[in-house]
Every structure is written in C-alpha cells, then in structure tokens.
Structure 1
Amino acid sequence: MQKLNRIPLSIAALLAFFSFNVFAVEISFKPIAPNVYAYVGDTEGRTYENEALNANIGLVVTPNGAVLIDSGASFQGAKQIADAVKKVTPQAIKWVINTGGQDHRWLGNGYFKANGAEIMAHANAEADMKARGAEQMQANAPVLKDKMKGTEVVLPTRWLKDADTQLELGGVTITVVHRNGGHTPGDSMVWLPQSGVVFTGDVVYVDRILGLHPVSLTKTWLQSFAALEALQPKILVPGHGSVTTLAQAQKDTGNLLKALRAHMGKAVEAGTDISAAFKAFDATPFKHLKHVDTWLPQLASRTYLEMERE
C-alpha cells in the first residue's frame, strides 16, 4: 500500500483521467465535402459509453440553416449531437431527416423538436415508428440507464410521400430517396447532387455485417440499393461503418443481400430445410465483416423465411 502512495501526482491524475474517460465516445463531425460532415459511430453494439449511437450521423450546413441526418438514440445523446454541431457552425439546426425507424435514427427527435427543428421522414416509417418506438425505448433503458432521461417517442412533424422528394435550403439541393425500405420499412437515403455525397442510412453497412429484423425485407432492400447505384455518388456515408465508396458498399452490402437471396431462394425451391441451407451457404466473400460468424445464421434464416412467403 505504501508503494502505491509513491506514485507521482501527475501519473495518478493521468490514471484517474483514463479510468473515467478512455471508454467514453466523443461525438464530433468530420468534413467529407464542402459544408458536409459526418459522425462515424461505433461498429460494435449499443453501450452506455457510446450513447447507443452505434450508427452514423450526417450534417449539411447551408447559409439558411443546418440539416441533421438522423437524431440519435436518446434526448441526452441528441444534446451531445447538437453540441457537436455547434463546434462546426453557428447555424441553427433547421431540419432533421430521419432515415429510418431504427432507434438511433429517431429517438433523439424530442430534443430537436423542442429546439424548433422541423423533423422529416418518409411516410412508410410512420407505422414502424409507432409500432416499435416503445419497444426500442424499453430495450435501450437498461443500456443507457440515466442517459435515457428526457427521451420520449417523438414522431416526425413532416411525412414525405414520394419516392424522391427534392428539398432546397440555402441554395443546397437535398433529395430524399425512398424505395420501400429494407432494414426497416421507412429506410431512405439523403442525396446531395451538388457535392455528390449520399447518406444511405441503413441501406448500406460496411466494415460490419448488416442486420435483419422481423420488419426487414431483403427484396425491397435490393430495390433501395439499385436506386443508390443509379445515383453514382462520389462519396458514400453508410448507415454503419466508415465513409466509403459505392464499390465497397456493393461488396459489403449489395453482394451479401444478392448472395443470401439467390442461395436461400434455391433452397426453398428445392425443399432444403433451413439448417442445411445455412450450412451450404458460402460466406467466404464476407468473412472480413465484423460479427459475421455471430449474426450470419440469423440473416440466413430470416432470408429463407422471407423467400418462403414470396
């Protein structure tokens, strides 16, 4: 015990600092194009330290206000996002665009609505948000604990109805692209044609394997991916993983969806049982993705069951 007391004060302070801060996640926006920024979230699971924000957030700055792409998983997390925006621009957040119905896309809406932002999402997200909002809150409560304070289910204030909705703010064109979802029914992409940047929301995962839920549909997901390919973006901000290219998005998301549907479709037609179908699936091209061994069985089974229903 006496030896511990001889640790120099500066070292002791440093150790104390890291014991409290080494695992904290700082939300900060990095420039990816003129007046366009991204926060790249954790590719692991939701934790107290990462604010359950294991997803990417976008920011577009215009002369007439800022546009935030997704609002985070909680009121407190949204406040941290807003503080990070203030470090980039003095412009107020005028619009928030929710790219889908997953918790970290919209459960921070309450903070931004209280601060005067208009919140938008595609109308196909409405039923999903209403159905799963309380469930998502319940799931995040034991993870975020006190950080859930102030969080409520707050729906968008403006529902977009078209497949392509063109918006304009401060001379910046923003197109919200929707093709009946995929990961969730309301999944949309935010396209900035002037800069060639697209924020894909959960249409694209890179670096880690994609996720499928009971509300997910691989068929419409591929339709969304086809719309992405038609855009031919210069810079692609996925829903999860590092800022990337269309080619990498194809490798990590598009090819996996196509492979799952092709393989499981043949298995269903042949009457192969679900277990044997999964064992026969060649996952070699996707072994570089995080969590592939853990989550691939679920992806295979959900795809098989979806194709049985088609």
Structure 2
Amino acid sequence: MIRKALACALLAAPAFASEDIADQYPQSVLYEKPVEVIPHVYSAIGATAPPTYENAGHNNNLSFIVTGDGVIVVNAGANAKLAEALHQEIKAVTDQPVRLVINENGQGHAMLGNSYWAAQGVDILAHADAKAVFEDNAFQILSGMQRYARENSDGTEAVGPNLTFEDRYDIEMGDMTIEVLHLGPAHSEGDISVWLPEQKLIIAGDVAFHERMPPIFSETCTSCWIETWNEAFEPLGALYVIPGHGHPTNVAQVRRYTHDYLVYLRGKIGEHLDNGGSLNDAYYVDQSPYAHLDTYEELATKNAGVVYTEMEFE
C-alpha cells in the first residue's frame, strides 16, 4: 500500500520547492526531518536554495538505508553539526549502527560532515576523483562553509574518505543489495549514484536535478553528462529517484529538468554560435522555460557562459 501511494505521488506533477520557504524543522539544525521514501530508505530533504546560515548548509539530501545489519548513510553533510543531527534521527528510527558513509561527490555538503562520522569510527567511501578534488580544495571548501555557517561550523574538520573506488562498489548488507556506481561524467568530478536494484530506487546524487536548476561548472562536460544519462543512468530503469537536491520523484521529472535542460541549453548556445554570437550575448540566451526553478537567478547566466565556452571549439 505504501509503495502504491508513493508511486502515485511520484507520477503527479511536482510541487516545486522555493528558496523563500522557511526552515521546515526549526528544532533541529537539519532543514527538514528525514522521511521514509520507501520502506527502510530515508532522506532528509535539504533546501533548494544556496547554502546559508539559515539552512546551515543543509541544501542537499542526506539519506540513509536501514539494511537489517547496519545503516548506510549517503552524504556526510556540510558540517559536523548536520552529521550529528542526522545521526540522532537515525537513532530514533533504529538501533542498528551506522556502518558506512558514502560521499556522492567531492563538494563540501557531501564531505565536510566526514569529520563527525570518522570520529565515530565509521568507514567513508567516495569515488577516487571526488576524494582528490576534495583534498585539493579542502582549505577553500572548509573556509567557505565556516563563513556562512558561523557557529554551526564548530567542530568541523576537512576529512576525506578512507575508502575509494573507480567504477562500482558492491555491498551486501543485511537484507539489502546496494550498488555504488560511477555511471560516467556528469555534474562534477567523481559523481556517484547509489542503486538499490531490488527496490528499483536510485539515490542519484547530482547526476539528477528537478526542483532547482542544475549548476554547470567549468569542469563539467555537458555532452558527456547527456551521454551518461542516455547510456547508463536511465537504462537502470529506476522507479524511484532521490535526487541530489529536491524531493523524491521519478525518472520522467528528473529527465525533464536535467537531461532535457542540458539538451535545450546546448541547442540555444549552438544556434547562438551558428549566428556568430559572442560570449557576452550568450549569457542572455532564452532559458525562460526553466525560470520557475529555484536558483535560476543565480545560475542561468553562468550556465550559459560555461556552455558557450565548452561548445565554442567542439
């Protein structure tokens, strides 16, 4: 019954998040209380706004899987206080110990909570590229979080993962089969997704967006991201998607606002290039079909400029 109700909800039109929505869980440093997405899989949905003092950096999804023989956490959180708050929520659900933390990429909100989990003696897993990116930029990542989080940064240190992999990392724990997959280049270096094949649920990480605009970085290869989507992400056949940001949904919604957005923006920039357009004008190509997404104002022009630079010599 739970699965049927959730499936119906996921197929419905999305209720988009807003950067103006206040903290949904004021008694906790977490932005929202974890919800059970399907049996034994929980996610604390972060704000779709940029990281701020008000959301304490909880602007991504912090998920956990109760396997029957331990708990696996996906994303350490943006600081030690968020990690500790998530741990308290896990303890309220189960007395099974946390056995593994998985970092979805090398960004601060995936890894800065590692210092808390490492102090608990928990192994931490990430893609080798994500570990390298985090360690190369650890000072800047930590300093940036300390500036906006203020006292919520107390106790946080830059600690990388102690376990890494290249293509996949398979886990059999309790009643769960879990595949940690690097499907290919996507939003950032070392992006991974956590796939539960029996449940048909994917914790997609930043491979998939739908309530906020996907950020495109200078190191992002958008044509590669589209290829990863078509050849590896969508063929998994997921019924349930927990994206890196925003509420749980289905593949159709994340395709519409990730894959289709990338194809659309590349099409607009391609037309602009064909017409001899400059970089200065490329910032203002029409992205109005996506103007309702959170972080549109922060990201649309930046994304256009990055894609222009990427495509100029393709």
> Please, what TM-score do these two structures have when normalized by structure 1?
0.87
**In structure 1, the residue corresponding to 2:93 is in which secondary structure?**
coil
Who is 1:211 aligned against? Answer: 215
1:25–1:49: 8 Å Cα contact kept in structure 2? no
Q: 1:309 to 1:111 in 2, by over 3 A?
A: farther
Unaligned runs of 5+ residues in structure 1 are 1-17
Q: Note if contact 1:29-1:88 (Cα within 8 Å) is conserved in structure 2.
A: no
Question: 1:102 is aligned with what amino acid?
Answer: Q
Asked if 1 retains the 8 angstrom alpha-carbon contact of 2:183 and 2:233, the reply is no
The question of whether the paired residues in 2 share the 8 Å contact of 1:179 and 1:223 is answered with no
Identity of aligned residues (%): 31
Residues 68 and 97, structure 1, Cα contact 8 Å, conserved in 2: yes
Picking from 296, 306, 309, the partner of 2:310 is 306
**Mapping for residues 183-194 of structure 1, pairs under 5 Å:** 183-194=187-198
- Deviation per CA, 1:44-102: give whole Å up to 9, x if none: 12122322110111111012100000000111211111111111111111011111111
Residue number in structure 2 paired with 1:262: 267
2:60 counterpart of 1:55: yes
1:183-202 deviation per Cα after TM superposition (whole angstroms, max 9, x unaligned): 21011111111111101111
Corresponding position of 2:19 = none
Match of 1:147 in 2: 152
Structure 1 residue 270, shift from structure 2 partner: 4.8
Change (3 A) 1:91 1:149: same
Give deviations 1:223-242, integer Å, cap 9, x for gaps.
33232211121110111111
Contact 2:211 2:294 in 1 (8 A): yes
Counterpart pick for 2:112 among 107, 111, 115: 107
| 1:26–1:304 CA distance, 2 compared to 1 (3 A) | closer
Aligned counterparts of 1:278 and 1:144: Cα–Cα separation in 2? 31
Structure number with greater Rg is 1
Give the alignment partner of residue 246 of structure 1, picking from 237, 240, 251: 251
**Counterpart in the other structure of 1:128:** 133
Q: What is the TM-score when the length of structure 2 is the normalising length?
A: 0.86
Instruction: Kindly indicate whether the alpha-carbon contact (under 8 Å) linking 1:123 and 1:160 is maintained by their aligned counterparts in 2.
Output: yes
1:260-293 Cα deviation digits (max 9, x unpaired)? 22332343455321233343x3323212212323
SS across alignment from 2:137:
helix
Q: Which ranges in structure 2 are unaligned for 5 or more consecutive residues?
A: 1-22
Q: Distance in 2 between matches of 1:303 and 1:111?
A: 37
Q: Which runs of 4+ in 1 moved over 6 A?
A: none
CA distance in 2, matches of 1:228, 1:151: 33
1:175 is aligned to 2:173: no
Contact 2:31–2:46, Cα closer than 8 Å, also in 1: no
Of 166, 170, 182, 1:166 maps to: 170
Moved more, 124-133 or 24-33: 24-33
Task: State the shift of 1:22 in Å.
Answer: 8.4
Which of 292, 296, 303 is equivalent to 1:292? 296
Residue 206 of structure 1: CA displacement? 1.4
Letter in 1 for 2:94: T
Residues 30 and 86, structure 2, Cα contact 8 Å, conserved in 1: no
CA distance in 2, matches of 1:98, 1:22: 26
What SS does the aligned partner of 2:312 have? helix
Q: CA deviation at 1:299?
A: 0.4
